């Protein structure tokens, strides 16, 4: 097995969030962070999503990350409903 899997975890209150991702599903993991932040039933804030997404982009960098940072600044919670 030569495929590298990244593990990212957040323990917040009584909830535990674990994300397993590789290079191929990095972008889907970033989208999942936004969906969790938009879910009012989860104790997962937009701040949590921002901090974890930064860790994901640092772990698996892409050339277009600088462009994505600017695009994320203009998003609101309505974009994920």
Residue 49 lies in a domain: yes
**pLDDT computed for residue 68 by the predictor:** 56
- Exposed, middle or buried: residue 43 (CB in 10 Å: 0-12, 13-18, 19+)? middle
Residue 71 lies in a domain: no
Q: Which domain holds residue 30?
A: 6-59
Nearest CA-CA partner of 3 in 70, 60, 79: 60
Provide the domain count of the chain: 1
Residue 44 lies in a domain: yes
Tokens of 6: 């990244």
Residue 27 lies in a domain: yes
**pLDDT computed for residue 1 by the predictor:** 55
The residue to which tokens 């949590």 are assigned: 48
Residue 20 lies in a domain: yes
**pLDDT computed for residue 51 by the predictor:** 95
Tokens of 65: 């990350």
Alpha carbons 66 and 23: distance in angstroms, whole number:
17
**pLDDT computed for residue 16 by the predictor:** 95
Residue 73 lies in a domain: no
Residue 76 lies in a domain: no
Mean pLDDT per 10-residue segment, the chain (81 residues): 85 92 92 96 94 91 64 63 60
């Amino acid at each position: 097995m030569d495929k590298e899997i990244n593990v990212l975890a957040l323990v917040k209150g009584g909830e535990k969030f674990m994300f397993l991702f590789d290079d191929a599903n990095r972008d889907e993991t970033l989208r999942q962070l936004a969906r969790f932040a938009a879910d009012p039933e989860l104790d997962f804030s937009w701040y949590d999503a921002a901090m974890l997404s930064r860790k994901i982009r640092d772990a698996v960098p892409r050339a277009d990350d600088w462009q994505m940072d600017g695009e994320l600044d203009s998003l609101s919670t309505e974009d994920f409903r």
